[in-house]
């Protein structure tokens, strides 16, 4: 009688071969993923290189784009300095699509990559807080000679701008918030950010996203962000989403987003102390940062805030209602000039 059961040594050899084979397959998969991620990152950097200059603040590089003084100014005149701070998952190019060109004929526009995004160095742990980001940006624009600028922040960038105003109110002349986060919200952190902000997710999930997220997914995400307005023609190509999909940017953005609610809870009780001119612009149809939860409460908290509600506009007024946002900047500048004359 012939036994059909292999001897133990055969099972051992088969087991070892199986483990080795699985390990090789896993290693190959990891290798391919890392290669694809590295390739896509290199392509993004090649297609969308740094546009501005790098300033080192406390050992960290901050990337800024200074559009300079308007060419049409009379000799000896100086336009107000204006700093633009982008939102989550963004970078300088979000502001150079429409808003910066609209304002650059009457302001010295300085656009900044927030720490960890675009080409600015990432800050880590508590060093990535809204206040820390504001301090680094404040130091960077000061290195460029900006004096008491008007500061505009959109979405998450509005939180950074508010932190700037709270921490160093004498260092800016006016504040403009656009669809800005300002107050605590009841919904929990999304599963996506829970995963990508965790140590394991940062190590394993983020490279997969960089390597394999298709263009269709990116376009669908932009459609949701811009809703109910369509994404403007040419925005996708101008913005360069590949910069946002780099591993360093995904990791920084996820950690910042995970920490945001706790930071806002600490900041919100301080708003009543603000006394500088503030113009807030918010879309009534914004489902990302709700009007009533954020801008309406900020209006109640800050006596110097003037709120402009854009009916039917979503989360991206600076792209789809650019003239209204520019008008808010002009009002802020006029109010700042009046306040300066009274100093």
144: CATH:
3.40.50.1820
Lookup result for tokens 């008008």: 327
- Which pLDDT band holds residue 284 (cuts at 50, 70, 90)? very high
With pLDDT > 70 as the criterion, what percentage of the chain qualifies?
A: 90
Give the model's confidence band at 334: pLDDT under 50 very low, under 70 low, under 90 confident, else very high: very high
Model confidence at 6: pLDDT above 60: no
Query: Does residue 215 sit within a domain?
Result: yes
- Over 60: is that where the pLDDT of 282 sits? yes
CA–CA separation, 64 vs 44, rounded Å?
A: 18
In a domain, 18, yes or no: no
Q: What is the pLDDT of residues 169-219, one digit of tens each?
A: 999 999 999 999 999 999 999 999 999 999 999 999 999 999 999 999 999
pLDDT at 126: 53
Give me the mean pLDDT over the 311-316 stretch.
99
Q: What confidence tier does 324 reach under pLDDT thresholds 50, 70, 90?
A: very high
Alpha-carbon torsion 304, 293, 184, 329, what sign?
negative
Neighbours of 145 (CB within 10 A): 10
Domain count within the chain: 1
Burial of residue 15, with CB atoms counted within 10 A of its CB: 0-12 exposed, 13-18 middle, 19 or more buried: exposed
Is the per-residue pLDDT at 60 higher than 50?
A: yes
Rg (CA), the chain: 24
The model's confidence at residue 8, banded by pLDDT at 50, 70 and 90, is low
The first and second tokens of residue 289, run together, are: 């940062």
Residue 11 lies in a domain: no
Q: Residue 24's pLDDT is what?
A: 43
Whether residue 4 has pLDDT greater than 80: no
pLDDT of residue 245: 96
Distance in angstroms (rounded) separating the CA atoms of residues 96 and 157: 15
Residue 28 lies in a domain: no
Q: Is 175 helix (H, G, I), strand (E, B) or coil?
A: strand
Predicted confidence band of residue 5 (pLDDT cuts 50, 70, 90):
low
Residues 84-140: tens digit of each pLDDT? 999 999 999 999 999 999 999 999 999 999 999 999 998 865 568 999 999 999 999
pLDDT for 72 = 84
Residue 139 maps to a domain:
yes
E runs forming strands in the chain: 53-57, 60-66, 81-85, 108-112, 150-154, 174-178, 278-283, 305-310
User: How large is the average pLDDT for residues 142-148?
Assistant: 97
Residue 333 has pLDDT above 60, yes or no: yes
Q: Which of 70-74, 109-113, 322-326, 339-343 has the lowest mean pLDDT?
A: 339-343
Compute the distance between CA of residue 160 and CA of residue 83 in angstroms, rounded to an integer: 12
Helix residue ranges per DSSP H, the chain: 8-47, 92-96, 99-103, 130-143, 156-167, 191-197, 199-212, 215-226, 235-239, 241-244, 247-267, 295-301, 317-320, 322-341
- Whether 231 is covered by a domain: the verdict is yes
Containing structural domain, residue 251: 46-341
Residue 151 and residue 289: Cα distance in Å, rounded? 19
> Is residue 24 in some structural domain?
no
**pLDDT exceeds 70 at position 78:** yes
Residues in the chain: 343
Instruction: Write down the pLDDT at residue 15.
Output: 47
CB 265 within 8 A of CB 204: no
- 22 located within any domain: no
């Amino acid at each position: 009688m012939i036994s059909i059961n292999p001897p133990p040594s055969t099972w051992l050899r088969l087991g070892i071969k199986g483990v080795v084979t699985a390990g090789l397959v896993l290693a190959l998969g990891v290798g391919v993923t890392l290669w694809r991620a590295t390739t896509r990152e290199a392509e993004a950097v090649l297609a969308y290189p740094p546009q501005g200059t790098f300033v080192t603040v406390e050992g960290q590089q901050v990337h800024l784009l200074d559009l300079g003084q308007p060419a049409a100014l009379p000799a000896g005149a100086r336009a107000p300095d204006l700093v633009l701070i982008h939102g989550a998952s963004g970078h300088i190019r979000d502001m150079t699509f429409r808003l910066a060109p609209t304002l650059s004929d009457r302001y010295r526009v300085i656009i900044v990559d927030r720490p960890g995004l675009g080409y600015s160095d990432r800050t880590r742990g508590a060093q990535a807080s809204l206040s820390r980001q504001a301090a680094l940006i404040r130091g960077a624009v000061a290195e460029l000679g900006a004096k008491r600028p008007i500061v505009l922040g959109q979405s998450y960038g509005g939180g950074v701008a508010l932190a700037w105003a709270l921490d160093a109110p004498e260092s800016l002349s006016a504040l403009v918030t656009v669809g800005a986060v300002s107050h605590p919200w009841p919904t929990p952190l999304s599963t996506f950010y829970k995963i990508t902000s965790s140590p394991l997710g940062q190590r394993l999930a983020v490279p997969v996203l960089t390597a394999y997220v298709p263009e269709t997914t990116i376009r669908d995400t932009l459609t949701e962000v811009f809703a109910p307005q369509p994404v403007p023609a040419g925005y996708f190509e101008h913005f360069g989403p590949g910069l946002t999909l780099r591993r360093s940017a995904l990791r920084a953005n996820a950690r910042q987003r995970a920490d945001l609610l706790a930071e806002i809870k600490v900041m919100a009780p301080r708003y009543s102390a603000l006394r500088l001119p503030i113009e807030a612009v918010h879309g009534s149809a914004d489902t990302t940062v709700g009007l009533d939860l954020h801008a309406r409460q900020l209006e109640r908290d800050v006596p110097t805030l003037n709120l402009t509600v854009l009916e039917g506009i979503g989360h991206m007024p600076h792209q789809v209602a650019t003239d209204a946002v520019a008008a808010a900047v002009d009002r802020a500048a006029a109010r700042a000039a009046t306040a300066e004359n009274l100093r």
